[in-house]
């Protein structure tokens, strides 16, 4: 007897199929490839830091202490996350989307105007750039073992998190770091943690502008959302109707 796929999974399959012509765009794929190459250099920096300060950096696969609460990411990161999500089994995708939708409903209690494409930039900065630190809600992309289910597709923020982001020039892009790292040491004074962050973040914003020009017809350099909301963005609809972000 043949089995019938549950209705939610059928809807998810149709959504994935509807997205395919959009994600197959050669221009968008080129931008995504350039961004992934940039992210690879960030991973290399992080690996060098771990080797330079062996025993002081405890970030590793399965550690999810930082993967709690809400973090804002770019629209380009959101696109990358969805590319990773689509590689998972449909059943797993449905569970993750369910968690993301629950988070959306919670946010809409305070922000009823929050709707597709779930961008935050029309809200006052103080409402979303500094979220409560006591929010321990796990990221919907965490697996049961604490590992990221889309690790190779994780955003820039997830790759730089845990270590301070101090440019070679001494300019600080973030002086935050995981308190499990560098016990008894001030990492802000460690030269081997410094890197060319200004160059990297400039390239990131340039690629975001190219992505938004292709997607929306406008080279926006700021288009942010939260990780759970990123999983719900309807990119094909956004490409068809860029007026959805006219509020920006």
Provide the 8-state DSSP code for 142: B
Which pLDDT value is given to residue 52? 96
CA-derived radius of gyration, the chain: 19
The ranges assigned to domains in the chain are 7-245
Which pLDDT value is given to residue 242? 76
Q: Calculate the CA dihedral of residues 134, 136, 140, 142 and round it to 10 degrees.
A: 130
Which pLDDT value is given to residue 1? 45
Spatial separation of the C-alpha atoms in residues 149 and 139, rounded to whole Å: 10
Helix (H, G, I), strand (E, B) or coil at 17: helix
Cα-based distances in Å from 152 to 80, 161, 204? 10, 15, 17
- Check if the beta carbon of residue 163 is closer than 8 Å to that of residue 49: yes
- Check if the beta carbon of residue 12 is closer than 8 Å to that of residue 93: yes
**What phi and psi, each to the nearest 5 degrees, are found at residue 128?**
-135, -15
- Check if the beta carbon of residue 216 is closer than 8 Å to that of residue 67: no
- The per-residue pLDDT for range 57-106, each reduced to its tens digit, is 999 877 888 899 899 999 999 999 999 999 999 999 999 999 999 999 99
Instruction: Give me the residues of the chain with pLDDT under 50, please.
Output: 1-2, 247
Q: Calculate the CA dihedral of residues 240, 243, 244, 248 and round it to 10 degrees.
A: 140
What count of other Cβ atoms lies within 10 Å of the Cβ of residue 37?
Answer: 11
Dig out the tokens for 68 from the structure.
């709690």
Spatial separation of the C-alpha atoms in residues 133 and 68, rounded to whole Å: 9
Provide the 8-state DSSP code for 162: T
Task: Identify the burial level of 103 via C-beta atoms within 10 angstroms of its C-beta, where 0-12 means exposed, 13-18 middle and 19 or more buried.
Answer: buried
What count of other Cβ atoms lies within 10 Å of the Cβ of residue 201?
Answer: 16
* Nearest one of 186, 140, 181 to 162, comparing CA atoms: 181
Is the Cα torsion angle 132, 135, 140, 143 positive or negative in sign? positive
Which pLDDT value is given to residue 18? 56
């Amino acid at each position: 007897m043949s089995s019938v796929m549950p209705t939610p999974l059928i809807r998810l399959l149709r959504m994935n199929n509807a997205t395919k012509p959009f994600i197959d765009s050669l221009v968008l794929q080129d931008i995504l490839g350039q961004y992934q190459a940039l992210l690879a250099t960030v991973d290399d920096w992080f690996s060098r830091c771990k080797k330079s300060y062996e025993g002081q950096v405890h970030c590793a696969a399965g550690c999810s202490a930082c993967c709690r609460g809400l973090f804002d990411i770019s629209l380009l990161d959101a696109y990358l996350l969805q590319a990773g999500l689509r590689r998972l089994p449909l059943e797993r995708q449905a569970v993750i989307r369910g968690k993301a939708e629950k988070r959306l409903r919670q946010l809409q209690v305070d922000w009823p105007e929050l709707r597709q494409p779930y961008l935050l930039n029309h809200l006052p900065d103080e409402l979303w750039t500094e979220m409560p630190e006591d929010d321990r809600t796990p990221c919907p992309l965490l697996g049961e073992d604490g590992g990221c289910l889309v690790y190779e597709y994780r955003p820039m923020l997830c790759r730089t998190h845990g270590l301070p982001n101090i440019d070679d020039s001494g300019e600080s892009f973030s002086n935050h770091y995981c308190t499990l790292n560098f016990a008894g040491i001030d990492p802000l004074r460690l030269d081997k943690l410094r890197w060319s962050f200004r160059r990297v973040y400039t390239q990131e914003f340039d690629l975001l502008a190219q992505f938004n020009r292709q997607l929306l017809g406008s080279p926006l350099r700021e288009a942010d959302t939260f990780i759970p909301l990123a999983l719900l963005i309807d990119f094909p609809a956004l490409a068809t109707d860029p007026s959805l972000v006219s509020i920006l």
